[in-house]
Amino acid sequence: MAYVNTDTTYYGSNAKEVRATANGVPFDPQKFESATVALVHDSLNRTIVLNRVVELKGKTTFVNPLPILSSDPRGTYYVLVIWYDKNGNELTRAKSNFIYLT
């Protein structure tokens, strides 16, 4: 099952980034072309950061830093990763456990 992990669960006001590690197994990594990595505020259902990762063909795992600012709303978040093929079709998606900006 595809998954997303983060480097920690709680991020204080001095934190600069959330490091997300994503793994797309059991899907064939030769079909991966790109992925979007989103930091989503849970209660607002609002994406705070959206990154696009390219050149993923053959890679089962990647790490992506999501920048956070002290001005970002505090609260409960999760990281959502969606993998795409070369035609932009969604292959799979995975969501991290909840993380907290305090």
CA-CA-CA-CA torsion sign (37, 22, 101, 70): negative
Please give the pLDDT value at position 41. Answer: 97
Predicted TM-score (pTM) of this structure? 0.94
Compare 66 and 1 and report the one with higher pLDDT: 66
Task: Categorize the per-residue pLDDT at 62 as very low, low, confident or very high, splitting at 50, 70 and 90.
Answer: very high
Please give the pLDDT value at position 25. Answer: 87
Alpha carbons 81 and 49: distance in angstroms, whole number: 12
Q: Residues of the chain with pLDDT > 70: what percent?
A: 100
Task: Categorize the per-residue pLDDT at 99 as very low, low, confident or very high, splitting at 50, 70 and 90.
Answer: very high
HSE (CB half, 13 Å, CA atoms) of 62? Answer: 23
Q: How many residues are recorded in the chain?
A: 102
Alpha carbons 70 and 62: distance in angstroms, whole number: 26
Alpha carbons 31 and 36: distance in angstroms, whole number: 15
With a cut of 90, say whether residue 26 has pLDDT above it: no
Enumerate the β-bridge partners of residue 81.
37, 94
